[in-house]
Amino acid sequence: MVRTARFRRQHDEIMAIVRNISSLLTDDLKEDARKVPPLLSTLAGKLTVHLAMEDNALYPSLLKDDKLRPLAERFMAEMGGISATFKEYVRKWPDAGAIEGQTADFIQETQRVFAILKERIIREDQELYPLVDALQG
């Protein structure tokens, strides 16, 4: 089994929720706003589990490898900022009422935060995980 298979599957699940929420970012958002908070909650939960797994299972082994330590440290530092950005985003949009009251702001911020998440997932899938998988020997 590929070492990063579970992480990649989690990425797929996260991106499916991102696509689902993104599909609601239309002129009809005021009518659909009640659909967003449960999706955001599910996304936050999946991200929390994913990050915990990376912090506890992936990065400790990478930090022991002299060749991969700099890359692991960089990815870990970057994720701290992304995680904080996402937590603030979720805090700012706690319910349908907040979204309904500022749909344009919600759409703009959602697109910005999701672009950051997508870019990170792509980089992990294409840059970090292949190196991790190569460690298997």
| Domain chopping of the chain, boundaries | 5-134
Question: In sequence order, which ranges of the chain are alpha helices (DSSP H)?
Answer: 5-23, 29-32, 36-53, 59-63, 69-92, 96-101, 103-123, 129-134
**Tell me, which fold does domain 5-134 have in CATH?**
Four Helix Bundle (Hemerythrin (Met), subunit A) (1.20.120)
Please report the pLDDT score of residue 79 as a whole number: 81
Please report the pLDDT score of residue 1 as a whole number: 57
**Residues in the chain with pLDDT values less than 70:** 1, 136-137
Please report the pLDDT score of residue 77 as a whole number: 87
Please report the pLDDT score of residue 63 as a whole number: 92
